[in-house]
Structure 1
Amino acid sequence: MMIHPSAIIHPKATLSPSVEVGPYVVIGEGVSVGEGTQILAHSIIEGPKVVIGKNNVIGPHAHVRSHTQVGEGNRFLPFCVIGGEPQDLKFKGEESTLEIGSFNVFRESVTVNRGTAHGGGVTRVGNHNLIMAYAHVAHDCQIGNYVVMANSVGLSGHVEIQDHAILGGLVGVSQFCRIGQFAYVGGCSSTDKDLPPFMISAGAIRNDISVRGVNAIGLKRHGVDLEDIRALKEVYKLLYVSDLLFQEALTIVKRQWLHIPQVKQLVEFIESSTQGVVIRERKSQRQPEDQYCRDRSGISGEVSR
């Protein structure tokens, strides 16, 4: 075990023999660190109830707070704050946790907060995600696998990001919203509704965001059959380009294309929405009474952004 003499380690912390601890590191009570992990200069692992797996890198000045579980092979770059208290006025200090999987990269100054009792108590980040500089993951968020969040993305509380989604720089997502699998969200967009899977969405103003097309490039890169991509394009035209009401178009989609797995997933995502889904503005008509398009947000009491 390589421990710099200036490091401060609590006697009730548990470190594997192969852990490296750099200058001026502070490791608190109730911290467990797995083999091969590097804890670099000036970083703090506060505790209690922090479990860090093997072969992680805790970069200089990174700060891991309390009640946090980390898998293996993650990288936390300088000035990350991981496992901090939720930014929620309803939080009264009750125990909650953050669970991080394996092989994620958290770039400079990323913040990831723990969950809240009323939101399930757990914030989760899966595996193989890239969270770029200055991004924020609020309390009770659920992030899947292979997600890319570019610089300064902000997730409010209770947001769900499904596998392989990509969020461009400065994207803002309001509380309780979902971003579907393989969705691509253009930079500087903001949404208070769900963004459907397999689609490209963009819009600089919250009420202006709309679905712009199918994420065909992303789907091809991951081996989705070309015929299935063509079917998704036909579904897109029907749902987001035609003059049909959204619900009418959805009925036709269910009748003609529901046998295709990606289409079935898209339909299930839309029908399970509690926030409403992002649509495409059409010149011919806009129906605020359409059940899939109306604003169903308005949950109060959250201040996390």
Structure 2
Amino acid sequence: MADPRYGGPAPPVPNSSASGAPHSAVLANACDAHLHIYDARFAAIAPVVANATVEDYRGVQGLLGTSRAVIVQPRCYGTDNSATLDAILKLGIANARGVAVVGPDVTDETLHALHAGGIRGIRFSLYTEAHAAVSFEMVEVLADRVAELGWHLQLHWTADQIVTYRDLLARLRTPLVFDHLARLPLPGGTAHPAFSRVADLLARGNAWLKLSGAYLDSVVGAAGRYADIDPVAMAWVRTAPERLVWGSDWPHSTETSSKPDDALLYDLLARWTGTEALRRRILVDNPALLYGFGTA
């Protein structure tokens, strides 16, 4: 496909089926707030996704026109955040931040070193509890540990888990970031009680939500351009546009047979917001506030 942004066909991007640039206009300082870097140079406890290094990700940035990035520690590295810190360093701390995975035995010295390296949150990926490096019992303990650093807790939980642990979430004062549209299952979508629970936390000003991973809960999939996710995403945009960020979820480690089109995923945000002002808020202004871009 000819692409005027490249003077010809768009260059191929590893772990993406994109064949051309997005239709959405490029925005200065746009942030991809959810991606993973895999680098075989670092010891892993599970298989590493191939062709998903910082050098590979630069192709995604070139495709989308994003310049800021938030690297989320993948499961395969457990609580060893070396690969994530290295990726932040390579991308440059002025334009990159990270979300780490740590256990209760983490030392204050390590936490401060992670902060200096660009880490601004810790992740609890418990959507699938098997082989998780953390547990629900660790949430409150670690929330207290990272509060003084101004970090957030990033939660990849099922909608049912969000409801089950609603009292825990309500009493936490550490900012929360809900992954992947809060994983509201279809066809119920916003009818699931997790929607109102998360909406309440967003209204309190102590939570954020990522408009990412549209393919994770879509039934119609790429063939239907993830249209069945539109009502959920648009509901979040109506509910709390000032508390949303966008992420590609590259290199799409859950998708093994066919990788999503990252240009399409990027264009979904324009479909969900409807205005350039809202798109700018979610891609530029909100992540700058949440992750501290433009600050020391």
Q: TM-score, normalised to structure 2's length?
A: 0.27
Larger helix share, 1 or 2: 2
Structure showing greater relative contact order (alpha-carbon pairs closer than 8 Å, 6 or more residues apart): 2
Q: TM-score, normalised to structure 1's length?
A: 0.27
Larger strand share, 1 or 2: 1
